[in-house]
Amino acid sequence: MSMIVSGGIRIFFKLEGERGPFLFLHHGLFGSHRDWYEWGFVKGLAREFRLVIPDARGHGRSDKPLSPAGYSLSAFASDIIELLNALEIRNVHFLGYSLGALAGFELLTRYPGRVRGAALGGEAPLVTKEGAEFWADLATKLQDGSLGDAVHSLNERNVLACSGTDFSEDPINEAAPVLLQAMQQWDLHEQNNIRVRPPLTLFSGADDSAAQRIENARRRISHARLISIPGTTTAEAVREGGQLLKELLNVFRSPQRGERREAAGSGQGKADQEMNEITAAAEEEGQEQVDQSPDTGAAESGEEHREEAEHSDGEEEDKQTMAEAQSAAREEQPLPGNENGASDFDPPDAEPGTSAEAASDGEATDADLAGDRVSAQSVQNDNEHEDGESSELDPDLEQENREAESRNEE
């Protein structure tokens, strides 16, 4: 027999299903794990979920404390957590009916991280003044009669689906009055706009008295949604399964808000990781360049200077070779001339148009005519003549000049 111990109380449970998310089934007041089998929920849910099905404390095969302190709402929630911890289950979907709805809402508020989503029905999940008065009235009926009479009152309220159960031999007969006494002492949920983190769905039959109480609770709980099964009571809808089971399957199959946030965070986390990896790679590459810069940079700079120097030397050699070739060509061929003795060749260093102007004026010098073939002595004589410094003439040449001048006069 599968048991765990929670706060000194042994809790019985069963497991069903071999794959899928975990789904916790919590029965109602005076019920047991057997109810889920009888209603067909185990068969309908175990195909897609791994089911955890306990007997709540005071019910079924679990221990039954005989003190009201043993039935606080926090004790019911703690039993669920202890069972999940023992099974090493991180979080579950939760389906609670009647008493299970109250225990489930306590679980949502105390341990929201352990619940992926919840569906609660059969009774409003909030402890109200009206509820406390009903539990007190039920306890009085139980004292005056049998548990069967109390169960009949629960059926009139449409919160108990086990109307055919025979409680005459059930050990709950001894624990039931203590449980009802404890329920009258539960703290009321008096605030409005109650917020719970896990997604919450409430369900009820449209034709029972619990429907309005559940609708009132939905209005007080932020973002809670409601499934209303038309033409039936909640107890009948649970016993028959059918439409209610189909609706609940859709609830648990749908991505929950927490799961969507987790998926989005995972996606963003992956994108951030990829961006961090790219940034880290860029920084690493930049660091490698910085680390190599003292030596590599200097080597590259020196190499560039050497290449520039070699390129300059090459250009100088090319210019010198070209000049020598041009000089040799000029020495081998006479310069072409015109009728006035002016040259048609413009030396490389001459200003554009200079030789043309000299030819038109008829004032070409010996340097212009001889170009680069003139000797250093001729250039020197020309410079001295331009400066007004006359050279010493030969006597015979002077005589010839005088005779020529006399003939011209005659």
- Assess contact for 237 and 158: CB atoms under 8 A: no
Residue indicated by tokens 């989503």: 117
Report mean pLDDT in 10-residue bins for the chain, 410 residues. 94 97 95 94 96 96 94 98 98 96 97 97 92 85 71 62 48 79 93 93 90 93 95 88 92 66 46 50 48 42 47 52 51 40 37 38 41 39 42 52 60
- Assess contact for 114 and 91: CB atoms under 8 A: yes
- Assess contact for 13 and 33: CB atoms under 8 A: yes
Rounded to whole angstroms, the Cα distance separating 306 from 309 reads 5
pTM for this entry: 0.62
pLDDT computed for residue 171 by the predictor: 53
Phi, psi of 230 (to 5 degrees): -75, 150
Alpha-carbon 250 to chain mean position: 28
- Assess contact for 377 and 385: CB atoms under 8 A: no
Rounded to whole angstroms, the Cα distance separating 73 from 53 reads 19
pLDDT computed for residue 405 by the predictor: 62
Give the up-direction half-sphere exposure of residue 352: CA atoms within 13 A in the CB hemisphere.
0
Fold of 3-254: Rossmann fold (3.40.50)
pLDDT computed for residue 255 by the predictor: 67
pLDDT computed for residue 383 by the predictor: 42
Sign for the pseudo-dihedral over CA of 382, 384, 386, 392: negative
pLDDT computed for residue 145 by the predictor: 66
Rounded to whole angstroms, the Cα distance separating 152 from 52 reads 29
pLDDT computed for residue 139 by the predictor: 83
Q: What is the 3-state secondary structure (H, E, C) of 201-247?
A: EEEEECCCCHHHHHHHHHHHECCCEEEEECCCCHHHHHHHCCHHHHH
Rounded to whole angstroms, the Cα distance separating 210 from 223 reads 20
**Distance linking the first and last C-alpha atoms of the chain:** 164
- Structural domain boundaries of the chain? 3-254, 257-292, 354-409
Rounded to whole angstroms, the Cα distance separating 110 from 116 reads 14
pLDDT computed for residue 398 by the predictor: 57
